[in-house]
Amino acid sequence: MADIKAVLLDVNGTLYSVGDAAEPAFRELGLDPALAPAWFANVLKDAFAAQLAGFFQPFREFAGDHLYKLLAQNGDTMPNVPAAVDTVMAALTAAHPFPDVGPGVNALQAAGLRISVMTNGSAALAKAVLARAGVGPGALGPLMDINMAVAWKPAPAAYQFAVEKLKLQPYEVLLVAAHPWDVFAAMREGLQGAYVQREALAHWPTYLPTTPRYTVRSLEELAALLKP
């Protein structure tokens, strides 16, 4: 691991479950909480399409549009979309991290690695989730998000921005995510990749031409592999 100097963490789906975190907000809004994962998937789908077309908007813009659709389908003819987005964002910020996050991140830091974040959400949310996991701010490098990069992952500009802020070479940065598209896109930009299999049946897609350096079930397992 001598070539790896920094770990760049994804947040949504990697450090916590978006569906589980959004459930209380969906109930408060009168929506079926089972719709939360599909809502998030649709947010990503449209954000990625806009990014591909060369147009950037922050997370809450796409989140609001898809919340409006759900609220309207639920019979709300004049939904207060900004308030609905605030409700969901507050729930996500209060998310409970996966149990391995705190021990894993602390072990990675103890191994001498810089710990940073690049998220399609917000840096403030990432900071809150990591704090709840027991990760002290002193263990963290820059917490970066798409609003700073003005680019959604998996756009190349998002990873390039992160590497520039870290002041490292791409190969010295290990992108850690539970999403194959995120890991693969980072690898295309010269970063190294670690795929975290958060779901029981998660696997690396056979249609992708390269595989990550590490495939693990938890951040603790990754830390053990990176231990000097």
User: What pLDDT score does 166 carry?
Assistant: 98
Q: What was the pLDDT predicted at 76? A: 82
CATH classification of the domain holding 129: 3.40.50.1000
pLDDT in tens, 25-71: 999 999 999 999 999 999 999 999 999 999 999 999 999 999 999 99
pTM above 0.85, yes or no: yes
Burial of residue 82, with CB atoms counted within 10 A of its CB: 0-12 exposed, 13-18 middle, 19 or more buried: exposed
pLDDT at 2 over 80: no
pLDDT over 70 at 8, yes or no:
yes
What is the token pair recorded at 57? 């908007």
Task: Give how many domains the chain has, as a whole number.
Answer: 2
What pLDDT does 1 receive? 62
Beta carbons of 50 and 146 less than 8 angstroms apart: no
* 113 plus 208 within the same structural domain: yes
* Among 93, 125, 145, residue at a domain's last position: 93
pLDDT given for residue 138 in this prediction = 72
Please check whether residue 3 is in contact with residue 89, taking contact to mean a CB–CB distance below 8 angstroms: no
Q: pLDDT digits over 168-222, tens only?
A: 999 999 999 999 999 999 999 999 999 999 998 999 999 999 999 999 999 999 9
What pLDDT is stored for residue 136 in this prediction?
79
What is the average per-residue pLDDT within 63-82? Answer: 92
Nearest to 168 by CA among 37, 1, 7: 7
For residue 154, is pLDDT > 90?
A: yes
Indicate whether 1 belongs to any domain: no
Name the residue range of residue 32's domain.
18-93
